């Protein structure tokens, strides 16, 4: 899922991330035209291929927020959408004759786009992330990072990390879920150096040194999206699609989904066998025998 205020290039970056028009599949739109504004939550299925391995991916494009005069509780539609996907999965899970493979529409990762102000996070960003971090893995991303100098970018990243820590906002990878020392060492480096990823998105190609590259043309040259000297797009792509893909899914299932599931079943608890969760027939729970003393 991509989330952030309007005009930060969420749809463009998602297209760049998967080297395809994944966030706009309308046949009426082509690469040369300007990407239309997102006006509703839209989930689009896509298959990406990496080294001969195919992976089905769903990209959830969301409308920008924060444009209204009253932005109170503007995170609620997103939180509701994420919880609805948990509910769908839970409903399938508690069925007596459940499917061998339950369709998984749960949101495993939310790229949260931060405006490159160079100052501090807006109160609305902090409030939004505070709510979303409880239900989904949040990866903070500084959008349009080419608008800042290297010094400004470094200082802004430090400031964002500090503000998230002071406000008790946990972004992925969360410290308490590091499984071993190797995980902790690797993730500490990501948390302290890479986060939030400062990226530039573009789905336009240019010729640089005889090669076609994705980039943004400026009066002083071309900013190459996949060049680590220009931005951290390549780091973000590897992080999401390669190194941490499985872990994102596991944290979603074992932490966020389990928290939702426990709460829902607890709210529904104490009912006799029969009509249960959202009209689902719940089977009686067998009594667990107490362990005998040796």
CATH number for the 2-203+232-268 domain, one of 3.40.50.300, 3.40.50.150, 2.40.37.10, 1.10.8.60?
3.40.50.300
Q: What are phi and psi of 79, to 5 degrees?
A: -60, -40
Q: Select the highest-mean-pLDDT range: 27-31, 110-114, 218-222.
A: 110-114
Q: State the alpha helices, DSSP H only, in 137-214.
A: 150-166, 181-189
pLDDT at 294 over 70: no
Nearest Cα neighbor of 112 from 148, 75, 86 is 75
Per-residue pLDDT of 152-196, as tens digits, reads 999 999 999 999 999 999 999 998 888 788 888 888 888 888 899
Say what the pTM is.
Answer: 0.81
Region 216-232 average pLDDT: 87
* Residue 53 burial (C-beta neighbours within 10 Å; 0-12, 13-18, 19+): exposed
pLDDT confidence of residue 69? 59
Cα 253 to Cα 255: distance, rounded to the nearest angstrom: 6
């Amino acid at each position: 899922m991509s989330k952030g205020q309007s005009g930060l290039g969420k749809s463009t970056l998602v297209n760049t991330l998967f080297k395809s028009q994944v966030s706009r599949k309308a046949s009426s739109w082509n690469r040369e035209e300007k990407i239309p504004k997102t006006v509703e939550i839209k989930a689009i299925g896509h298959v990406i291929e990496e080294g001969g391995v195919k992976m089905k991916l769903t990209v959830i494009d969301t409308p920008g927020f924060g444009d209204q005069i009253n932005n109170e509780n503007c995170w609620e539609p997103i939180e509701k959408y994420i919880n609805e996907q948990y509910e769908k999965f839970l409903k399938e899970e508690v069925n007596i004759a459940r499917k061998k493979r339950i369709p998984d529409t749960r949101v495993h990762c939310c790229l949260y786009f931060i405006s490159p102000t160079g100052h501090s996070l807006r109160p609305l960003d902090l409030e939004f992330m505070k709510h979303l971090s409880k239900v989904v893995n949040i990866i903070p991303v500084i959008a349009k990072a080419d608008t800042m100098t290297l010094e400004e970018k470094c200082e802004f990243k430090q400031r964002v990390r500090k503000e998230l820590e002071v406000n008790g906002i946990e972004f992925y990878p969360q410290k308490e879920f590091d499984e071993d020392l190797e995980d902790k060492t690797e993730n500490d480096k990501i948390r302290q150096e890479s986060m939030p990823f400062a990226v530039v998105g573009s789905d336009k190609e240019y010729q640089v040194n005889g090669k076609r590259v994705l980039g943004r043309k400026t009066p002083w040259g071309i900013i190459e999206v996949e060049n680590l000297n220009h931005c951290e797009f390549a780091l973000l792509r590897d992080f999401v699609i390669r190194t941490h893909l499985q872990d994102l899914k596991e944290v979603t299932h074992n932490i966020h989904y389990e928290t939702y599931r426990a709460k829902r079943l607890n709210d529904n608890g104490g009912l006799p066998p029969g009509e249960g969760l959202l009209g689902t027939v719940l089977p009686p729970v067998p009594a667990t025998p107490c362990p005998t003393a040796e």
